[in-house]
Amino acid sequence: MPHLHIETFKPVEFPCSKDGVTFNFIVSNLNHTKERLISATVEEDDFFLLVKEDENKSLLKSDKLTRPASIYNVHKALLSYAKVADLNVISSNVPEYEKNIHLEEVSALKNISYFVDSFPEDKEIRIEVGFGSGRHLLHQALSNPDILFVGIEIHRPSIEQVLKQVNIQKLDNLLILDYDARLFMELVPSNRVGKIYVHFPVPWDKKPHRRVISTTFIEEANRVLNVGGQLELRTDSENYYAYSYETFIAFNKTTLQINKNKEIAISSKYEDRWKKMEKNIYDVTMINEEHSEELSIEGDFDFREANANSSDILALHTKNEKLDGAFIHFERVYESEDKIMLRLSMGSFDRPEHLYVLIDERQVSYYPHLPLKSRSNLIAHKYLEGVLHG
């Protein structure tokens, strides 16, 4: 993760701007005053820089929760703050460089609001979950120009690698999203997708709840796939294959194709590695045979004014509330002279959303973006809105 080790942290007068970066405000962790968050805006990215102070040296880095897909924008914000605050940098892993020529204009990189506001409708959609180096995704997009591909990945270097190739190869049928694929599936309209690729996912043998393939994911896949659409799992892990097969076959009705060591048109660098090691490759393909009802979720994420006492809001720290069909956990509380901010995890128990809620002169908003519009998130929001309204 990009970071600067600095001798002493120095706050500045907020808001301020430097080298195309705007620093909006700063808040301190109520229970750990040596931890602070600085709101930064670079181009269209809003995110936090995280400050951790120590006696000998302090750390300035990007906040993991809000870190944007553009690593360049993170680097720019870190270096700009060091300049505007005149920080003494002891060590750094942040390079000073100009943006790569192939990343100067990046139209393929979308945020989640793009899909929430207007999900693409003019072409068949295919989704690849965790595209890694992008070899398979780029091959598919190049070979099928009339199909729109959505690649979902959370590894930033992989995202930038594929974005460069999108521009070099001039692909206009590939969109990239840095987001949790399990959450993304909940907003995809029903019967819209031709194929979903899950190639060589992390097995998570010690943390199986983090696996992409699950009963819920399969249910959502069946809903979003058109009739005849396919969910393709490809893995080198015999444990993951066995677990996935059992999860698929547990459904009352399902159509599966099973293959072992099947050759496909393009292989990933991981697959090449496994083949050299003479490891087996397993394929489980689920074929959807039913038309689903249209997706309909009612509700919004509006807030009334925060009428609750500041002391009551600050006391929410570490509170955990189990709701009917959802939960909300108040992980941390931050404050400044005129703001209170809550760090939350909320929504579904097995695929929660992590985000911040900002209270500024009684006006409440999610930061830096709204939660995904899912039933569980709306349940959690209703509880949160009631708590803050008082």
Structural domain includes residue 300: no
- Is residue 285 within 8 Å of residue 231, measured between CB atoms? yes
Say which DSSP state 361 is in: T
Cα separation, 74 vs 16, in Å, equals 17
Cα separation, 166 vs 174, in Å, equals 7
Largest Cα span, the chain = 64
Structural domain includes residue 296: no
Structural domain includes residue 98: no
Whether the upstream peptide bond of residue 368 has omega within 30° of 0, thus cis, is yes
- Same domain, yes or no, for 113 and 195? yes
Cα separation, 387 vs 371, in Å, equals 18
- Same domain, yes or no, for 169 and 118? yes
Domain boundary among 65, 92, 119: 92
| Residue in this structure with the two tokens 């180096």, named with its chain if needed | 133
Domain CATH for 277: 3.40.50.150
Whether the upstream peptide bond of residue 15 has omega within 30° of 0, thus cis, is yes
Q: What are φ and ψ of residue 294, in 5° steps? A: -65, 145
- Is residue 377 within 8 Å of residue 371, measured between CB atoms? yes
- Same domain, yes or no, for 150 and 234? yes
SS3 content of the chain, % helix, strand, coil (to 5): 25, 30, 40
- Same domain, yes or no, for 273 and 314? no
Non-local (6+) Cβ contacts of 3 within 8 A are: 59, 60, 61, 62, 78, 92, 93, 94
Two tokens, residue 234: 């490809």
- Same domain, yes or no, for 190 and 318? no
- Nearest by Cα to 59 from 1, 125, 6: 6
| Residue in this structure with the two tokens 């809620």, named with its chain if needed | 357
- Same domain, yes or no, for 184 and 327? no
Q: What is the residue-level pLDDT of the chain in tens, covering all 390 positions?
A: 889 999 999 999 999 999 999 999 999 999 998 999 999 999 889 999 999 998 888 999 999 999 988 888 999 999 999 999 999 999 999 887 666 655 666 789 998 989 988 899 889 999 999 999 999 999 999 999 999 999 999 988 899 899 999 999 999 999 999 999 999 999 999 999 999 999 999 999 998 888 999 999 999 999 999 999 999 999 999 999 999 999 999 999 999 999 999 988 888 777 888 788 888 999 999 999 999 999 988 999 999 999 999 999 999 999 999 999 999 999 999 999 999 999 999 999 888 999 999 999 899 999 988 999 999 999 999 999 999 997
Domain that holds residue 25: 3-92
- Same domain, yes or no, for 73 and 194? no
- Nearest by Cα to 150 from 99, 100, 186, 115: 115
Structural domain includes residue 237: yes
Q: What are φ and ψ of residue 121, in 5° steps? A: -130, -10
- Same domain, yes or no, for 264 and 315? no
